Structure 1
């Protein structure tokens, strides 16, 4: 027996005190977070299926050109903080368990400490509940940009794209502004936004001159530029200033480019579409290659598979690979059986298959070297799980100047 009772009583009191301290600390941190958010005048969250990192980068540049001291945050291929007023960026070092709430708290703290008056942040959550928390609490967004609604991450938000649109519609600010692109689910997004008292602005990709897109050194779609122009208009930034800012924005190191590689006299053209990991975006990249006048003869398609994305692999077999004029199919990564079975059963017709299942990415690059002459190499499927290393390996064989989207 102790003055406080039994030893069990002491343990209980200690646990209770610890819980109370954690509760108080949480309340204090929450108030600090809200105060920091209040110091940042413009808070833009960017959600959607694909293109979020690109839009964050373009928007960060546009707002900076419009006079806002803007901090951007991407969570795509490599999470980054973008200090637009310095033209610099820095990596976000994550813990082994991956992204968490504390990461965004730290970003808001950094924005306040740096005196930013605008924050443009990519929604890093896939789970619909976490998306709501990100928009409402972690960012307290007063502007939301929704890039598109595509058949990606259907396991978490599906099973249909209508369900994905509903998830994005549930993660909207109150009495703010929502910028959307035209599309089959635009009406659903518009209704969800208005139900929460938001003003809805619909971007106009048709108004973007193709010559504007060719002014970028990486692949940018008209929808991306139109969304940022609409955002700029909401904030009173002239279109010409916004475009200058977009062009000056730092480019993602793993952005899709048309990169000459291999033979200096007759180089191949490597197109990194690994990050466009849904069928619609992947085929749009291929269409862009054709629109730039590059021939489809001898097309080498590198399909990089992931063991934890078997559903995506099957989807690509059905909705992407069969729609490409593949001459040589290179299969890399793990859990590649759906692709190889489709070829074996005649569902995919290609001239040659190279099975590099579980082969180290540097060995894959070595095996590709004899193919780097006068043809297009298109990487699709997954950026992670070997895609990043393949991209960087092929970049070591770049020739001349990097090609932009003008090809």
Structure 2
């Protein structure tokens, strides 16, 4: 037990700086923002975070935005209530659904051990594993917990199907055991990093130089020279876009960069419901706090893209329904929060792209004259300049020409607040224009 905990402590180290893996430089190819366990609900669907896992395997699929010849996986037990015993884990190239492509499964180790105990509140990085992956490939991570995990640190709005099965299914490439419950959340996964330059993989679905995968999108085979981190709330997390389609705006941005031959990974650390200035037990730590970990702590981070403040403004004054208070905010407070993010990024030499706050007229609870006045004032100040290296004016881009306080109908996901796939594509196009 002592050796296992020491192993976890050694591995739970900061990974943000380039070269943190020794002589190898690492770039984040996929990441998510994690938060407290929360019960299932009608609008977000079922999740397994409160009960966790016991004698079960959980299989999770992610799409990487950059290629490499080596891979490592990051895990988070930040919001755990007890030590977490991870009995073992594997990674493999994704097949349809819960399947893994034959011959691609690789065991993950931690300090050269297959099992590890992670203290509550800690984060963990696997040992590097040789694993050729191209940009826009999907990889599957399978975790096995022989005992009870307790409540699971997770990301609720994954918009990607995760699977669970009884028993140890780490080495099982098939999907028969995973035919039961599914969820659209990610559990314990925090990031997938790549290093090295993979050989061109002609003929691999979704790989550079080969045919398009099932989505019709082709990948790239060159390794990344840095990472773009998309930070924000549900507008970044992708709420309103099609599940299991990778149509969030950071996904579409990654595709555009690959198509342009730009060797930049893109990772998405948006969290549904997140606020810039207030913590929530359901929707994550306040943006001005988690920015330091979720953005500045990413390996190889080069640029941050910031879209946040909608929930501070629209939710201001809401009663506490169990997810924390929603204080009324002023435009000055929101703008000062944006300035704090810019200063923190610039201190580390990271460029920051800001996005104005989109229209929300007609959004239930958010649309009030007072909230609209604050949103207008915040956007005026962002346009005037708060230190961003570039600004994308989403307010004007997404506005209905006949009613500028409302979303254009063709971009509305249906609630007058979130964008659909077409809106996400527009955001990706405009962000790609300003990235250097």
The TM-score, its normalising length taken from structure 2, stands at 0.29
Higher strand share: 2
The TM-score, its normalising length taken from structure 1, stands at 0.31
Bigger radius of gyration, 1 or 2?
A: 1
Higher helix share: 1
